[in-house]
Structure 1
Amino acid sequence: MLKKMKEEIELLSRHIEVARTVAEHQPIGIMKLSEILDLPSHRIRYSLHVLEQLGYIRASPEGAVATAQTRELFAHLNEDLDDIIRLVNAMKRP
Protein backbone atom coordinates (compact mmCIF):
# COMPACT_ATOMS: atom_id res chain seq x y z
CA MET A 1 0.00 0.00 0.00
CA LEU A 2 2.73 2.51 0.93
CA LYS A 3 4.80 1.54 -2.11
CA LYS A 4 1.89 2.51 -4.37
CA MET A 5 1.47 5.81 -2.48
CA LYS A 6 5.18 6.57 -2.92
CA GLU A 7 4.96 5.85 -6.66
CA GLU A 8 1.96 8.18 -6.97
CA ILE A 9 3.83 10.96 -5.15
CA GLU A 10 6.83 10.50 -7.45
CA LEU A 11 4.53 10.71 -10.48
CA LEU A 12 2.83 13.82 -9.09
CA SER A 13 6.27 15.35 -8.53
CA ARG A 14 7.13 14.77 -12.18
CA HIS A 15 3.85 16.28 -13.36
CA ILE A 16 4.49 19.37 -11.22
CA GLU A 17 8.03 19.72 -12.59
CA VAL A 18 6.74 19.44 -16.16
CA ALA A 19 4.03 22.04 -15.47
CA ARG A 20 6.59 24.35 -13.85
CA THR A 21 8.96 24.00 -16.79
CA VAL A 22 6.18 24.63 -19.30
CA ALA A 23 5.20 27.78 -17.41
CA GLU A 24 8.81 29.00 -17.34
CA HIS A 25 9.70 28.21 -20.98
CA GLN A 26 6.41 28.37 -22.88
CA PRO A 27 5.70 27.59 -25.56
CA ILE A 28 7.81 24.45 -25.36
CA GLY A 29 7.88 21.11 -27.13
CA ILE A 30 8.43 17.59 -25.90
CA MET A 31 12.06 17.36 -27.01
CA LYS A 32 13.08 20.60 -25.27
CA LEU A 33 11.23 19.54 -22.09
CA SER A 34 12.98 16.18 -22.24
CA GLU A 35 16.34 17.92 -22.56
CA ILE A 36 15.72 20.41 -19.73
CA LEU A 37 14.32 17.84 -17.29
CA ASP A 38 16.64 15.02 -18.38
CA LEU A 39 13.70 12.64 -18.77
CA PRO A 40 12.77 10.33 -21.65
CA SER A 41 10.29 11.83 -24.10
CA HIS A 42 7.67 9.15 -23.38
CA ARG A 43 7.52 10.26 -19.73
CA ILE A 44 7.23 13.90 -20.77
CA ARG A 45 4.49 12.99 -23.26
CA TYR A 46 2.52 11.17 -20.54
CA SER A 47 2.83 14.07 -18.10
CA LEU A 48 1.75 16.53 -20.78
CA HIS A 49 -1.26 14.36 -21.56
CA VAL A 50 -2.28 14.22 -17.88
CA LEU A 51 -1.73 17.97 -17.41
CA GLU A 52 -3.74 18.77 -20.53
CA GLN A 53 -6.61 16.51 -19.40
CA LEU A 54 -6.64 18.32 -16.04
CA GLY A 55 -6.60 21.75 -17.70
CA TYR A 56 -3.14 22.85 -16.52
CA ILE A 57 -1.66 23.14 -20.00
CA ARG A 58 -2.90 23.39 -23.54
CA ALA A 59 -1.29 22.48 -26.81
CA SER A 60 -0.44 25.19 -29.31
CA PRO A 61 1.25 24.99 -32.72
CA GLU A 62 4.48 26.20 -31.07
CA GLY A 63 4.31 23.77 -28.12
CA ALA A 64 2.73 23.41 -24.70
CA VAL A 65 1.59 26.52 -22.85
CA ALA A 66 0.41 26.98 -19.27
CA THR A 67 -3.16 27.99 -18.47
CA ALA A 68 -4.55 30.25 -15.77
CA GLN A 69 -5.23 27.06 -13.81
CA THR A 70 -1.46 26.43 -13.68
CA ARG A 71 -0.83 29.85 -12.17
CA GLU A 72 -3.51 29.09 -9.57
CA LEU A 73 -1.87 25.72 -8.80
CA PHE A 74 1.50 27.31 -8.14
CA ALA A 75 -0.01 30.18 -6.15
CA HIS A 76 -1.21 27.66 -3.54
CA LEU A 77 1.20 24.76 -4.03
CA ASN A 78 3.23 25.19 -0.84
CA GLU A 79 0.13 25.48 1.35
CA ASP A 80 -1.50 22.47 -0.33
CA LEU A 81 1.65 20.39 0.09
CA ASP A 82 1.90 21.43 3.74
CA ASP A 83 -1.66 20.15 4.25
CA ILE A 84 -0.71 16.80 2.73
CA ILE A 85 2.44 16.61 4.85
CA ARG A 86 0.36 17.24 7.99
CA LEU A 87 -1.99 14.39 7.03
CA VAL A 88 0.90 12.01 6.43
CA ASN A 89 2.63 13.03 9.66
CA ALA A 90 -0.60 12.39 11.57
CA MET A 91 -0.38 8.73 10.51
CA LYS A 92 2.97 8.27 12.29
CA ARG A 93 3.09 6.78 15.74
CA PRO A 94 4.89 8.78 18.42
Structure 2
Amino acid sequence: MIGKLEKEVDVLERHMNVLKTVIANEPIGIVKMSTELGYPHHKVRYSLRNLEEADLVEPTEQGAVTTDKTEMFVETLNDDLNAAIDRLHSMKTDTIEISP
Protein backbone atom coordinates (compact mmCIF):
# COMPACT_ATOMS: atom_id res chain seq x y z
CA MET A 1 0.00 0.00 0.00
CA ILE A 2 2.74 2.47 0.94
CA GLY A 3 4.78 1.47 -2.12
CA LYS A 4 1.94 2.65 -4.36
CA LEU A 5 1.83 5.98 -2.53
CA GLU A 6 5.58 6.38 -2.99
CA LYS A 7 5.22 5.75 -6.73
CA GLU A 8 2.45 8.34 -6.95
CA VAL A 9 4.63 10.87 -5.13
CA ASP A 10 7.46 10.13 -7.59
CA VAL A 11 5.13 10.76 -10.54
CA LEU A 12 3.79 13.96 -8.95
CA GLU A 13 7.34 15.16 -8.34
CA ARG A 14 8.20 14.55 -12.00
CA HIS A 15 5.06 16.41 -13.14
CA MET A 16 6.04 19.36 -10.93
CA ASN A 17 9.63 19.35 -12.26
CA VAL A 18 8.30 19.34 -15.83
CA LEU A 19 5.92 22.20 -15.00
CA LYS A 20 8.72 24.22 -13.38
CA THR A 21 10.85 23.68 -16.48
CA VAL A 22 8.06 24.83 -18.79
CA ILE A 23 7.51 27.94 -16.66
CA ALA A 24 11.22 28.80 -16.67
CA ASN A 25 11.89 28.03 -20.35
CA GLU A 26 8.67 28.31 -22.32
CA PRO A 27 8.33 27.38 -25.07
CA ILE A 28 10.29 24.18 -24.55
CA GLY A 29 10.23 20.87 -26.38
CA ILE A 30 10.32 17.32 -25.09
CA VAL A 31 13.89 16.59 -26.21
CA LYS A 32 15.36 19.66 -24.50
CA MET A 33 13.30 19.06 -21.37
CA SER A 34 14.34 15.42 -21.26
CA THR A 35 18.00 16.43 -21.51
CA GLU A 36 17.70 19.14 -18.84
CA LEU A 37 15.75 17.01 -16.36
CA GLY A 38 17.33 13.64 -17.06
CA TYR A 39 14.00 11.89 -17.61
CA PRO A 40 13.37 9.64 -20.61
CA HIS A 41 11.32 11.22 -23.43
CA HIS A 42 8.31 8.99 -22.75
CA LYS A 43 8.13 10.11 -19.12
CA VAL A 44 8.35 13.79 -20.07
CA ARG A 45 5.65 13.22 -22.69
CA TYR A 46 3.43 11.52 -20.07
CA SER A 47 3.92 14.39 -17.62
CA LEU A 48 3.16 16.96 -20.30
CA ARG A 49 0.00 15.06 -21.25
CA ASN A 50 -1.14 15.10 -17.61
CA LEU A 51 -0.33 18.79 -17.26
CA GLU A 52 -2.21 19.47 -20.48
CA GLU A 53 -5.25 17.55 -19.19
CA ALA A 54 -5.11 19.74 -16.07
CA ASP A 55 -5.01 22.79 -18.39
CA LEU A 56 -1.66 23.91 -16.97
CA VAL A 57 0.33 23.66 -20.21
CA GLU A 58 -0.50 23.56 -23.88
CA PRO A 59 1.47 22.39 -26.88
CA THR A 60 2.62 24.78 -29.58
CA GLU A 61 4.81 24.30 -32.64
CA GLN A 62 7.72 25.76 -30.65
CA GLY A 63 7.11 23.57 -27.57
CA ALA A 64 5.07 23.51 -24.38
CA VAL A 65 3.86 26.78 -22.86
CA THR A 66 1.87 27.66 -19.75
CA THR A 67 -1.83 28.56 -19.75
CA ASP A 68 -3.92 31.17 -17.98
CA LYS A 69 -4.54 28.67 -15.15
CA THR A 70 -0.87 27.99 -14.37
CA GLU A 71 -0.27 31.06 -12.22
CA MET A 72 -3.26 30.36 -9.94
CA PHE A 73 -2.19 26.71 -9.62
CA VAL A 74 1.32 27.74 -8.56
CA GLU A 75 -0.06 30.32 -6.10
CA THR A 76 -2.17 27.68 -4.31
CA LEU A 77 0.29 24.79 -4.62
CA ASN A 78 1.98 25.20 -1.23
CA ASP A 79 -1.36 25.31 0.60
CA ASP A 80 -2.59 22.24 -1.29
CA LEU A 81 0.60 20.32 -0.55
CA ASN A 82 0.49 21.33 3.11
CA ALA A 83 -3.09 20.05 3.36
CA ALA A 84 -2.01 16.70 1.90
CA ILE A 85 0.96 16.55 4.27
CA ASP A 86 -1.32 17.29 7.22
CA ARG A 87 -3.61 14.42 6.20
CA LEU A 88 -0.67 12.04 5.96
CA HIS A 89 0.68 13.27 9.27
CA SER A 90 -2.65 12.63 11.01
CA MET A 91 -2.63 9.09 9.62
CA LYS A 92 0.85 8.59 11.01
CA THR A 93 -0.04 9.75 14.52
CA ASP A 94 -3.26 7.73 14.75
CA THR A 95 -2.66 4.38 16.37
CA ILE A 96 -4.14 1.19 15.04
CA GLU A 97 -4.80 -1.42 17.67
CA ILE A 98 -4.73 -5.06 16.71
CA SER A 99 -6.59 -7.47 18.95
CA PRO A 100 -4.72 -10.65 19.88
**Short-chain TM bin:** over 0.9
Match of 2:12 in 1: 12
Letter in 1 for 2:58: R
Q: Is residue 2:49 matched to residue 1:49?
A: yes
Offset, 1:93 = 3.0
Letter in 1 for 2:10: E
- Which structure has the larger Rg? 2
Letter in 2 for 1:63: G
Higher relative contact order (Cα pairs below 8 Å, separated by 6+ residues): 1
Match of 1:76 in 2: 76
Letter in 2 for 1:29: G
Q: Kindly report the root-mean-square deviation, in angstroms, between the aligned alpha carbons of the 2 structures.
A: 1.1
Match of 1:66 in 2: 66
TM-score of the aligned structures, taking structure 1 as reference length: 0.94
Q: Distance in 2 between matches of 1:9 and 1:73?
A: 18
Letter in 1 for 2:87: L
SS of structure 1 residue aligned to 2:92: coil
4+ residue stretches of structure 1 with deviation over 2 A? none
Partner deviation per Cα, 1:64-92 (whole Å, 9 max, x = no partner): 00112111111111111111110000001
- Percent of aligned pairs with the same residue? 38
Aligned residues: 94
Where do 5+ consecutive residues of structure 2 fail to align? 95-100
Q: Distance in 2 between matches of 1:54 and 1:74?
A: 13
Where do 5+ consecutive residues of structure 1 fail to align? none
TM-score of the aligned structures, taking structure 2 as reference length: 0.88
Match of 2:92 in 1: 92
